[in-house]
Amino acid sequence: MTTIERFAPSPTGYLHLGHAYSALMAWRSSQTTKGKFYLRIEDLDSTRSKEQFTIAIVEDLNRLGINWDPPVIYQSNRHPIYTEQLSKLIRMGLCYPCKCTRKDIQESLEAPNMPLTGQNRKLIYPGTCRNRPFSEMTKGDAIRLNISKVTDYFGGLAYFPNLNFTELGPTNMGVHRVTPDFLQGNFGDIVLARKDIGTSYHLAVVIDDAYMGITNVTRGEDIFDSTYIHRLLIELLELPVPTWTHHQLIRDEAGKRLAKRTPSWTLRTLWDKGLNTEEIIAIAKKQIS
Ligand code: GLU
């Protein structure tokens, strides 16, 4: 089957070995199937995204021998589309404006009747603003998805067995079911529009992947959990459902995942050390095997 793949880096730093692995995997999959490969620059966060990194991404991918089909998509140009889709979810009665600050959320979670168990749990929003109407919305509000309303929207629990996604990556290979309990227990009422940027990573990714006709999403395993949210949004917005391939993450000698902040693993550093592209690919493969 022909696959349409993409590489979607955020221009907040130089690409490292892990990015090279990800981009090459997606690109090769599109090549072997005579499909298409697109580049999407995820520059929604205007304070952290820098033009210099976008230029560097293009240069580094070229140097890896990766080419892509036009056009390059810039998320910063697509705000009206995200707003339009968000309005749809608002009209469906599934959202509410949230005025809580990070501090408010933290404090409400520290209340004695809400013990913090597990790392994720303390980040789950307790639903303080759930009953706030849009008539009370002010400029600085975020917009959240009311997860408990989602079940009603689908007409009850019986709908959920159909809400699946197929993972082709090595660690979580198989079909995964999205259930209200899982969504509530792991994510709660997720932010669909951040107050500063008017959208969110989750919303933008599903809208863009559908717009670009992506049939398989290749990306790092660290984003696997978000796929449950993405699958839900795809269903609500009636978008086509791709498959997902989450690849293993490349780690440093201490077992820590590579970060853009660590200059020793950037492609630029490796090239400067005299490594060629094949050697870089070989290191990447060795790191995860
Ligand atoms: N922009 C994300 C990153 O650089 C990737 C998002 C995705 O592939 O869905 O980590």
How many other C-beta atoms are found inside a 10 Å radius of the C-beta of residue 164?
A: 13
Looking at the domain assignment, is residue 132 inside a domain?
yes
Confidence tier at 116 by pLDDT (50, 70, 90): very low
| Ligand 1 centre distance from Cα of residue 219 (Å) | 7
* Closest protein CA for atom 2 of ligand 1: 9
> In terms of residue numbers, what domain contains 176?
79-210
Whole-angstrom distance, CA of residue 284 vs CA of residue 269 = 14
Q: For 219-230, what is each residue's pLDDT tens digit?
A: 999 999 999 999
Q: Are 151 and 270 contained in the same domain?
A: no
Q: Ligand 1, closest atom to CA 226?
A: 9
Q: Ligand 1, closest atom to CA 205?
A: 9
Q: Are 99 and 203 contained in the same domain?
A: yes
Q: Are 205 and 98 contained in the same domain?
A: yes
* Closest protein CA for atom 10 of ligand 1: 9
Q: Are 85 and 20 contained in the same domain?
A: no
Q: For 81-101, what is each residue's pLDDT tens digit?
A: 999 999 999 999 999 999 998
Position 146, amino acid = N
Looking at the domain assignment, is residue 202 inside a domain?
yes
Q: For 5-52, what is each residue's pLDDT tens digit?
A: 999 999 999 999 999 999 999 999 999 999 999 999 999 999 999 999
Q: Are 130 and 192 contained in the same domain?
A: yes
Within 6 Å (CB) of ligand 1, which residues are found?
8-10, 42, 205, 219, 223
Position 69, amino acid = D
Residue 152: give its domain's CATH number.
Answer: 3.40.50.620
Q: Ligand 1, closest atom to CA 6?
A: 8
Looking at the domain assignment, is residue 225 inside a domain?
no
Looking at the domain assignment, is residue 243 inside a domain?
no
Q: Are 84 and 200 contained in the same domain?
A: yes
E-strand stretches of the chain? 4-7, 36-41, 73-74, 95-98, 142-145, 164-167, 174-177, 191-193, 216-220, 243-247
Q: Are 57 and 107 contained in the same domain?
A: no
Determine contact, residues 128/108, Cβ cutoff 8 Å.
yes
Q: Are 104 and 47 contained in the same domain?
A: no
Q: Tell me the average pLDDT across 124-137.
A: 94
| Ligand 1 centre distance from Cα of residue 244 (Å) | 13
Looking at the domain assignment, is residue 107 inside a domain?
yes
